[in-house]
Amino acid sequence: MQPTPILQRAIKRLALTTKQGPHNYYKGNRTGAMGQHTKYGGYRIAWEKVRTYVCPDLTDFNLTPFVARRIEKRRDTFAHTETGSPMDGKEYLRRWKEEGGII
């Protein structure tokens, strides 16, 4: 069955679903596999694949997600660089050389 032409045009703007893709289209949910299926239908979790998020040591770290409102917002200017952007490569190199060129 084909959708009506108008619907086809609208569908192009939506995400591809498994009903539209090829027969082996795997959409997934953007998380990798955490193990393997066994031949008996079970699932063996591979612990080296399971995500572990390590929080850094936060002792004596005084910053908070908030900044006091009385501190004024300032603006950076990059007019002195060649491209005038904060991502200027030559300015990066110049400063790297200025600081000794240490990797």
Q: What residue ranges bind another protein (CB under 8 A)?
A: 55-58, 61, 63-69, 73-76, 86-90, 92-93, 96-97, 100-103
Shortest CB 100 distance to another protein, Å: 8
- Tell me phi and psi for residue 19, to 5 degrees: -80, -15
Paired with 37 in beta bridges are 43
Paired with 36 in beta bridges are 44
The span from the CA of 63 to the CA of 73, in Å, is: 17
Give the residue with the Cβ less far from another protein, 6 or 102: 102
Shortest CB 71 distance to another protein, Å: 8
Contacts of 81 (CB under 8 A, 6+ apart): 88, 90, 91
Give the residue with the Cβ less far from another protein, 7 or 54: 54
Shortest CB 88 distance to another protein, Å: 7
Residues 50, 44 contacting (CB under 8 angstroms)? no
Shortest CB 52 distance to another protein, Å: 14
Give the residue with the Cβ less far from another protein, 48 or 72: 72
